Structure 1
Amino acid sequence: MSGAPELPWLLPAILLSDPDPDSGGPARPRRTVGDRIVDGLVLGAAALMAVFLAWVQLSAAGPTPEVVVDVIGGAFACAALTVRRRWPVAVALALAPVSLVSISCSGAVGSALVTVAVHRRLPVAAGVSVLHLATGLGFALYRPNPDMPFWGTAIVTVLLYTALLIWGLFIRARRHLVLSLRERAARAESEQRLRVAQARQLERARIAREMHDVLAHRISLLSVHAGALEYNPDAPPAEIARAAGVIRDSAHQALQDLREVIGVLRDEAGPDPDRPQPTVADLPALVEESRQAGTRVRLDCRAGPDVPPGIGRTAYRVVQEGLTNARKHAPGFAVNVRVDGGRGAGLTVEVRNGVPSGGGRAEIPGAGLGLVGLVERVHLAGGTLEHGRTGGEFALRAWLPWPG
């Protein structure tokens, strides 16, 4: 576990920090059922020890004044444990004079010292422990043990209070470590949710870009066929019916694509990102659609059927954007499409078309972002994209890596 090796470095900060609200630290959590059970067990153990020690003294010396005071002190110490979590230092200080005259309070005093070590900083816990060590030695002088010399009693007392302090500090460090690990787990879970949300957003943006290219292609076909009907209203009925059918089919497909785009924007999960995507094998169908719209297209595809799907999809989008731009900016001009390449050499995609004199004004309006998105798509695939006029033609040329 990653937090365990850092525990030695965290100990100074843990031991010098104070988790209770009355000392300026972070607020202490409310008592749980487990805390109440622990409090009951601690109080029960201290009471049993007090009863046992009182019984031993009464059996040995009878109800003398010293024994009566001892028993009363033990009862008071056990009662004080009921508020040890709320005022740990106050309870420990209140039990210090009691421990001068009572041995029955030993269990309650030990619990109070451990509580101080758990809930207070090391200097405070050490100071309270030293105070009780002094009172313990005072009790040894006030009521010496006939079976052990004073120095022996002093050594046992020092070891006992040191063990209590170390035990409390260990519980404190372990609690801080558990809280730290819980916070890390919660933070890691939150970061994971954020990464998932970002991945979904990126996927939605990718699908939306795909739909943009498809919609631009469909709508340009609609515009071409509608323009043909507008400029040739006296065409034969069969030709008008064919053009109307193409318009209807293209409008239906564009509507379906638009619904998918809206679904991407509304639904966080979006449509199935693994739906079949176009590749190089779908280029003949794409070219045939443009031919039916009246565009003269010549396709020269020398790439084999083993083009990787990712590269093939990008190549398809390059040709689609080139045909769309040709219909927008150079209607009536022939378009030459060439796709060539192989493993290790990469895949070259080139779309060329004539340019009207004077630069030509687009008959079909557009946002002007098709090439921008295409450049981004090609760069993400690790390739390069060039476009511009060359020798009286407009050329769109892309190179895509094809690993060997």
Structure 2
Amino acid sequence: MRRLGTGIGWRPEIAEAVERMPGIDWVEAVSENLCPGHLPESLLRLRERGVTVVPHGVSLGLGGAERPDAGRLAALADRAEALGSPLVTEHIAFVRAGGALTASPHLEAGHLLPVPRTRDALDVLCENVRVAQDALPVPLAVENIAALVAWPDEELTEGQFLYELADRTGVRLLIDVANLHTNHVNIGADPAEALGELPLEAIAYVHVAGGFERDGVWHDSHAHPVPRPVLDILTDLASRVAPPGVLLERDENFPGAGELEAEVEAIRDAVARGRAESGGPADREAPAARAASPGANAADHAVRQRLGLAQAALLSALVAGAPAPEGFDRVRLGVQARALAAKRADVVAKVAPELPVILGPAYRPAFLAYARGRPMGAGYRRDALDFAERLLSADAGPAAEDAGVRRELHEWWLERSGPVPRSRRPGVRWARATRRVLLRR
């Protein structure tokens, strides 16, 4: 496995700081935020300096009951080729459920949700990973995720699940030590036990990130400093194997360049401590990953359908107000449901930043009220339009109570509701040009 070194997650908000940061060997960029024909100038400059760029996918849903979508796989492949990346990464998670497989409404989570650690789910995941590997031009690595809820009646520990996945498919592993800490706090999983069960030679690189605890629940926010327990897990991992790469993730609440550099240095120190404890050299290479097992069984339709029904029931409880499936902690499901709604509100505010401006402080409570029982099914941009349309048709709320807000919201909706923005339609352009001429007379 190619050694990557020390890296940081590239985000537009910190692009300048990343370019100036000393000792950065590589960066990771969210694949869905990149367009191969229009790559950010910052990433192009980094590549010209020899900095490796790895695309990191968040929407493939390899742990879902359906086979991976060919279009999403092609998009991930395009980004890897455009960036000249040595590998691509995704998550061991499901992000959507329902549809034809289960004869139920299609639901989108807008977030990474945990896969049940069962034999059925493992069979499906292995087959999905092999489909992805065949479609990608470079090796694939998959990441363990953070969980707020645990599936009942699981058959494998996290370490066992990841070991069998790597053994049966030959896939690389992206180990997120912050997620190991999250799962320790939230569902009692032992990070040391998980590390002890992992095929360490299959590790492609390691994620490190911060979070916060509220009411006994750890939230993997990627918006807070990396805490000491996460660095301690990183040290433990580094005492077992020299990780080919380690990367700091930060997605929100970006600090100054100095604080980011200090966090990267703390990560380097944690790795160095682990390597010193191991008694081996700090740059020792990990052995090559094992090859895929040729005789692994494919998941049949019945297995996929069973998994699909279970995932659809869970997602319905989280985003559509359905009853909690049997065996789940209802309190934790409530925490997860609120977290999903909050993230949905935040992302809609990013893809449609005019809405919080138009609505002011009323935006968030209005959106959360709209989202309750109205699952997202067609992406965040469609969600923003549906939200605005709902406000315009409601008898109460900010659009009904303030004529100015209603007028601005209606103009915003008209601009974006058609296949072409209203301001770019020929008739509208002509009318606006005519009005400008008349006003100048």
- TM-score band by shorter chain is under 0.3
Q: Which has the higher contact order (CA 8 A, sep 6+)?
A: 2
Higher helix share: 1
* TM-score, length-scaled by structure 2: 0.19
Q: Which of structures 1 and 2 has the bigger CA Rg?
A: 1
Higher strand share: 2
